[in-house]
Structure 1
Amino acid sequence: MGSNYGFVSTSFYRGLEWLWHFVYIQLLFLFSTLIGLGLFGFFPALYSTHSVMERFVKGDKQFSIFKVFVQSYKQHFFVANGYGFLFMLGVYLLTFNFNYLKVATGLEHTFLSVGWVIGVALFIVVSLYLFPTRILTEAKGKALIKNSIILALGAPVSFILLVASMGVLGFVLYMIPGFIPFLSITPFSFLLMGQLHVVVDRMIRKQAAWAEEKSGEEKANNSNVLPSYLKEKTS
């Protein structure tokens, strides 16, 4: 019987390589956040982390992590901060409405509570998917919000598994807080970009199959094209 030590050794070193990549990107994230004076650096650094992870989930091994990260940070600094400002505004509005619910009564309280819960759910989905969706679909403005919701609701089981995986990750970080400075943002980003990549790829295949069935051809020419409902760009 042949020895499997070679396989174990290869898998072990490959795992160490991935671990180093994750720690390295996390350090880039922290350093870039500090360069941007904390809040103004956080959102561009997060966007850049997603950009690097998008290359990983696509299977691209021939690229410079540092170069991709820095280029994305510079190119999307103001855009990421713009969306970050909208995020903070959304947090403020939801907090304000929650405080108002404390003094509302009767039917008004019930109606506003339902609206608040729906608003919080949509806000979480859009906030979670905003940057990854922009990277994958290049949508902007209203189309970006629309695509974020479509990608979440279009694959509810996948979204639930993503949330569960993030919950497990959060629990691990809670139990071992020493990991937080080195392995917190990057695993989260990898899970998110990986899940979205699978969902978008599935949508592309469904569109190609539908186009093939409609045209009667054996192979559709748009097998690598985003579905039309994800391609709209709005400033």
Structure 2
Amino acid sequence: MEMHGFTGAFYRVCVWIARFAYVNALWVTFTLLGLIVLGFMPATTAMFAVVRRWVQNDHDIPIFKTFVTNYRKDFVKANGLGLFYGLLIGLILVNLALLPPDPLWATLLRYAFMFIGLLTFGALLFLIPVFVHFELSIYQYVRTSIMLALSYPHYAITMTAGMFALQYVFMTVPGLIPFFAASFISYVLMWLSNRVFSHLKKRSDATDYEGQASGV
């Protein structure tokens, strides 16, 4: 029997709070099971895989089964992607730290590495949503996330603003961090990314229709 009114709304809020807390707990647990270094990326992609289904209005999925299935399936590929971006970020930071402060060439290189770093950050915002939404190679994941960051900078800015807003909330109420930090952030990033994916699909469908019409 479906509940209505205040009671029904309160019940649904409680259900969603429990879902977010549960997924966050799974993320922490499986990150630790992978000894953090090997567990972080597959646990993160598994969490996004669950959240993606919620964003697509599939609210009654078996959370644990979906999480574990994706964790196992993507363990190697997710860690490969994490290794690539870890090395890239490390390379950017090392070069910025080692560049001398004065010569013009060093200043130009510094700005170049800062631009690469900014682009890398934008690509990272889309990376995991792209990973769980598409079946691609590691190279294609990297290329697609970069292209989305360049093509939809307003979404990247909105994602960043959303993350800062959540960070402010979590810093204001630190007790929420162990229960909701990762799952809330993943939902914001996945929800915004899904809007981009929907826009891309509409453009693709429109292009296919125009192509078919012109061939008639």
Structure-1-length-normalised TM-score: 0.84
User: Is 1:20 paired with 2:25?
Assistant: no
* Structure 2 match to 1:79: 77
| C-alpha deviation, 1:176, in angstroms | 1.3
- In structure 2, the CA distance between the partners of 1:83 and 1:210, relative to structure 1 (3 Å rule), is closer
Which of 76, 84, 93 aligns to 2:91? It is 93
> Of 191, 195, 211, which residue of structure 2 is paired with 1:194?
191
Task: Measure the CA separation in 2 of the matches of 1:160 and 1:7.
Answer: 37
Q: Does 1:175 align with 2:172?
A: yes
Q: Distance between the aligned counterparts of 1:204 and 1:79, measured in 2?
A: 25
**Amino acid in the other structure paired with 2:109:** L
Aligned length: 212
Q: Is the 8 A contact 2:27 2:44 kept in 1?
A: yes
What runs of 5+ residues in structure 2 fail to find an aligned partner? none
Residues 38 and 142 of structure 1: CA distance in aligned 2, closer, same or farther (over 3 Å): closer
Identity of aligned residues (%): 30
Moved over 3 A (4+): 213-217
Instruction: Give unpaired runs (5+ residues) of structure 1.
Output: 218-235
- The one-letter amino acid of 2:121's match is I
RMSD: 1.8
Q: Compute the displacement of 1:104 (Å).
A: 4.3
Contact kept, 8 Å, 2:122 with 2:156, in 1: the verdict is no
Q: Deviations over 1:132-160 (max 9, x none)?
A: 21211222222211210222232222222
Q: CA deviation at 1:24?
A: 0.2
Q: Is the 8 A contact 1:134 1:140 kept in 2?
A: no
Q: Which residue number corresponds to residue 202 of structure 2? A: 205
What SS is found at the alignment partner of 1:162?
Answer: helix
Residue type of the alignment partner of 2:23: I
Cα shift at 1:41: 1.0
Partner of 2:58: 60
Which residue of 2 is the match for residue 7 of structure 1?
A: 5
Q: Which residue in the other structure is 1:115 paired with?
A: 112
